[in-house]
Amino acid sequence: MASSCVCLLFALPISAIAQSTEPAGATLRDWEEQAWLAIFDRSGGIFGRTSDHGILQRFNAAMDEEYHLDVITSRFSLSETADWYRRDNGARIWVGSINHLRLIVHGEFKASVRLADNWAADVRFNKEETLLADRSLARVGLRHRLLDGRAEAFLTGTVVADKPESDIELGFVWFTGPGSITVAVAALDVFSDLIYENLEVSPSIADTAFDYTDNPYTARFSLDLPLGRNLRIEGHALALTPTTVEIGSQTRPGDGFLQQERYAYAGGLLEWSPSRNTAIGTFTTWVRSRLDRAPLAAGPPEDAFDLTEVTWRIGGYAIHHITDRLEAEAWLSRVGRSEDRLRPDTTVAANIDFEDQIWLASAGTVYRFPSGFQAQLEFDIADQTPLSDDRLPSVFDATHTRLRFELGWRFGSRALIVLGSNLDLDGDDRSPNFDGGHGRVRLSW
């Protein structure tokens, strides 16, 4: 299967035939956004802030064998994602059917307004209802241009209903011609100690209280730089300082746990563009989370464990604008996931030493007018293989494939509306062969 996907991926033509409106290209910024949200909005994880599922919370019993396939079928393509991150103002949403009852939903809004010659204000909003997260997070920020526009400083804060969970990030961006380098530091849960320890919260409002003994801070680094005439490199990294927090009941002294937290991610992309109409690239990403939890005096013994979660991904892609109306795009990636849960007392519960790997791939073509009708045909595949004896919810030894049909309408560069239907190809006794639907909408201004 892997070799056939590789052949499919790189069988695309590489000679430019016609000029396209936007240059061919991909980005890791969508992945970096999700990795950033996982630590800045820990309450947005599907099992909540204090869950023993950890920070990544990747395994959910509600996921069926085709969940990974549903995600890659429904979300925006590499080209559409790259185009989104080229713009400062816009809104987008993608939805996909995962069963007869539920959709997965991703929504995002961003706006930037120039306030004065060197000042601008930004607003961002992320909405996510999936089997990994239930998130509604707003961010507001200020940016100030420096050095005649060659750099800028920014200050961004998250706006959440639970005031102790507010975060503040301060950063600096250096513009190097068409590229940029970003360095930022952040304080997470910045008002937590002030509210719980100084102002205090009545148990009638919240029984659970947080007491940080080592406060959480992050350092973040990003770059997007050309390497000569035809190469581009993109990189993102973040690390959380060692953090210790006591989470306990205000009405039942000693009921709760002490938790040490670690979190980091890193990703890189290398892209070759022999022409404006062609981009071929490779990428790799890595995310690691660790919780070391110990129960307080009256806490349950099952709260004694050390949990390490790791997800890595490596892959490649090719995008080619064959003509000004016809585009081909394909990508292939290998995803590895491990989860290790060690307990000092295995009579309470067994240790878990889990690992699996997943092949994900997509290839297809889209025919579109610069403004008007658009049609797309896509082949998607997800092949999941457990590598350990220990099993977790939503882990299967299965391969699923489908053919995706999409029709849409493009309003120039301002808007895109797409609706799609899926055809099952792997004979898994679904009847009829209809395998769900999905839709995408993007607005820019």
Q: What is the mean pLDDT of residues 75-91?
A: 96
**What is the three-state SS of 246-284?**
EEEECCCCCCEEEEEEEEEEEEEEEEEEEECCEEEEEEE
Contact by Cβ (8 Å): 140, 156: yes
* Residue that is written with structure tokens 């892959």 in the block: 315
Say whether pLDDT at 215 is over 80.
Answer: yes
pLDDT tens for residues 87-123? 999 999 999 999 999 999 999 999 999 998 899 999 9
What amino acid is encoded at 304 in this protein?
A: A
pLDDT band at 11 (very low <50, low <70, confident <90, very high): very low
Strand, coil or helix: 315: strand
Q: How far apart are CA 192 and CA 200, in angstroms?
A: 10
Q: What percent of the chain has pLDDT over 70?
A: 94
- pLDDT value at residue 2: 42
Average pLDDT for the chain = 93
251: left (phi over 0), alpha (psi -120 to 50) or beta: alpha
- pLDDT value at residue 14: 32
- pLDDT value at residue 432: 59
21-25, 142-146, 163-167, 309-313, range with the lowest pLDDT: 21-25
- pLDDT value at residue 8: 40
Contact by Cβ (8 Å): 84, 337: no
- pLDDT value at residue 434: 87
CB atoms < 10 A from the CB of 21, how many? 11
Q: What is the mean pLDDT of residues 77-84?
A: 96
pLDDT tens for residues 369-406? 989 999 999 999 999 999 999 989 999 999 999 999 99
Domain ranges for the chain: 2-444
- pLDDT value at residue 12: 37
Say whether pLDDT at 17 is over 60.
Answer: no
> Domain 2-444, CATH 2.10.260 — does that match?
no
Give the rounded distance of the alpha carbon of 50 from its chain centre: 21
pLDDT band at 337 (very low <50, low <70, confident <90, very high): very high
Q: How far apart are CA 32 and CA 231, in angstroms?
A: 21
Q: How far apart are CA 121 and CA 154, in angstroms?
A: 9
Q: Cβ contacts of residue 82 below 8 Å, gap of 6+?
A: 22, 25, 26, 27
Q: How far apart are CA 171 and CA 182, in angstroms?
A: 7
